[in-house]
Amino acid sequence: MTLLEIAQIYTDLVNADSAIPDSEYRAKDLISALRTKYHNMLMEQMQTEGIEFIDRFDATRIAFDLAKKGKIGRVPIK
């Protein structure tokens, strides 16, 4: 799976979580588990591809940028 694919799935999960009412706790729990899985995959793939990120929040921001633009605006780690 490519970094772009992972980022798109992850951002879709984040957006889906925001759209689900709090009363739907089972659905929110399932989305949360998938978000965690894809967030970990995202950070692992970013490290593999040499994409710098400061913390998990920065990785999330990069994922949204990537999903929106289709590319990373960061300089790879040398």
Structure confidence at residue 71 (pLDDT): 56
- Work out whether the CA dihedral 9, 15, 17, 19 comes out positive or negative: negative
74 domain-assigned: no
Secondary structure letter of residue 49 according to DSSP = T
41 domain-assigned: yes
Residue 75 has pLDDT above 50, yes or no: no
Q: SS in 3 state form for 4-25?
A: HHHHHHHHHHHHHHHHCCCCCH
How many structural domains does the chain have? Answer: 1
The helix/strand/coil state of 76 is strand
Q: In terms of residue numbers, what domain contains 56?
A: 3-69
pTM for the predicted model, two decimal places: 0.81
31 domain-assigned: yes
77 domain-assigned: no
Residue 32 has pLDDT above 70, yes or no: yes
75 domain-assigned: no
- Cβ contact 14:35 at 8 Å: yes
Structure confidence at residue 8 (pLDDT): 92
Q: Mean pLDDT for the chain?
A: 88
59 domain-assigned: yes
For 6-20, write each residue's pLDDT tens digit.
999 999 999 999 999
